[in-house]
Amino acid sequence: MLNYEISVADLQRLRNEGLPVVLLDVREAWEVQTAAIEGSVNVPMGEVPARVHTELDPDDRIVVICHHGMRSLSVTAWLRREGFDHVQSLAGGLDQWSREIDPSVPRY
């Protein structure tokens, strides 16, 4: 089974290799408007229980994203309990992504 967290470098490697990864951004809409990773799907944390079973495939590789990695880790643990075995939290969140991978993504 996958670790609960994935580093920004490992996520970038998966994307560079063209591997299918669903980026699930669990931040609020205003946060996503401020800064986001291109191609991510926004489902705010509070809406996850009501939406994931109809909007996500439990067989997909999913990386959950938030600002610093705390909300995403919580959502990852919940999704794992719900049968999403291929889900990981982005360690350090969008802030880490901006610092190490893509400085064009605004920090806030």
3-class DSSP assignment, residue 87: strand
Q: What pLDDT score does 32 carry?
A: 97
Cα–Cα distances (Å) from 29 to 22, 44, 77, 90, 108, in that order, read 18, 7, 22, 18, 14
Range of the domain at 82: 5-100
Task: Classify residue 106: in a domain, yes or no.
Answer: no
Is 90 exceeded by the pLDDT of residue 85? yes
For the stretch 48-83, pLDDT in tens is: 999 999 999 999 999 999 999 999 999 999 999 999
Number of separate domains in the chain: 1
Task: Classify residue 83: in a domain, yes or no.
Answer: yes
Residue 18 maps to which CATH number?
3.40.250.10
Q: What pLDDT score does 1 carry?
A: 74
Q: How far apart are the first and last CA of the chain?
A: 33
For the stretch 5-24, pLDDT in tens is: 999 999 999 999 999 999 99
pLDDT band at 31 (very low <50, low <70, confident <90, very high): very high
Percent of the chain with pLDDT over 70: 100
Whole-structure pTM value: 0.97
- Short-list 30, 42, 46, 44, CA closest to 106: 30
Task: Classify residue 88: in a domain, yes or no.
Answer: yes
- Strand extents, DSSP E, 1-108: 5-6, 22-25, 41-42, 62-65, 87-90
Dihedral (Cα; 75, 15, 12, 93), 10-degree rounding: -20
* Angstrom distance (rounded) from CA 70 to CA 36: 16
Task: Classify residue 107: in a domain, yes or no.
Answer: no
